[in-house]
Structure 1
Amino acid sequence: MATCRVRSRRRVRSLLIGLVLAVALLRLAVVATPTAQADRVDDAFLNAVKSKGINFPSPQAAIVAGHQVCNELDLGRQKPDVATDVTNSSNLDGYRAGYFVGVSIAAYCPRHHTST
């Protein structure tokens, strides 16, 4: 009977180890998925910005600026006012500043997209 308990404990232990590994792999998959999606969103955003000749010192600086547009809109600022701020704080003309605001909204805060 002692032999059965030893084998049974080993089997339970093996099952528990397998379960822990399965849960760890699932968590890793869940964590990796948003990162992959964020990378695709960032890549699309950077490609759109670059396509209009809007240059930043680094890709990260462009992404931070895009998120800042959303932060300003979250505070209740209006899109034209944010675009004016972009124009005044950069070398972008009104068209490119407005485009940057629009692309930022599409990429990072579609909740601010309104069809007018």
Structure 2
Amino acid sequence: MFARNGVTKFAGAAIVAGAFGLAAFAAAGTAGAMSSADDNFLTDITSAGIAYDSPQAATSVAHDVCVAFDGGADPVDLGMEIKNETDLTTDQVATFVVSAVHNYCPEYGSLFA
């Protein structure tokens, strides 16, 4: 799945686990340093009904989405992996991934055009 796209299953599992409170992610050096991109991202996912353990954990996982795309992940495969490993709806998964891209790695915006 992810391996053929240059992303390991470990990275996909880390994205899923961290985003939804299944693992603790340390956001070293970011505590208290939230940016406007962070605020926008957190507003987007909160509006979609997505809960998270901490703002730092949620934004860290959003950056992991970008890392997955850096490694060649297919957006559909990434979305399906998140959907299959969480209780999020399809719309919530789409909001999480698209907002991560919009706020942290807009160079991948064309993947959703």
TM-score bucket of the superposed structures, by smaller chain: 0.5 to 0.7
RMSD of aligned residue pairs (Cα, Å)? 1.8
The equivalences for 1:54-73 within 5 A come to 54-73=50-69
Provide the identity percentage.
Answer: 32
1:86 aligns with 2:53: no
- Report how many residues are paired: 81
Structure 2 length-normalised TM: 0.65
Q: Give the superposition deviation at 1:89.
A: 2.6
Per-residue CA distance 1:6-44 (angstroms, 9 max, x = gap): xxxxxxxxxxxxxxxxxxxxxxxxxxxxxx8x6111011
Q: Which runs of 4+ in 1 moved over 6 A?
A: none
Correspondence for 1:106? 102
Q: Give the superposition deviation at 1:103.
A: 0.4
Aligned to 1:76, what secondary structure does the other structure show? coil
Give the Cα separation in 1 of the matches to 2:86 and 2:63.
16
Comparing both structures, which one devotes a greater share of its residues to helix? 1
Structure 1 length-normalised TM: 0.64
Which of these two proteins has the greater Rg computed from alpha carbons?
A: 1
Unaligned runs of 5+ in 1: 1-35
Question: Is contact 1:54-1:96 (8 Å) kept?
Answer: yes
1:44 aligns with 2:40: yes
Aligned to 2:64, what secondary structure does the other structure show? helix
Aligned to 1:54, what secondary structure does the other structure show? coil
Aligned to 1:66, what secondary structure does the other structure show? helix
Unaligned runs of 5+ in 2: 1-32
Question: Which stretch of the first structure deviates more once superposed, 100-109 or 79-88?
Answer: 79-88
Alignment-mate amino acid for residue 108 of structure 1: Y
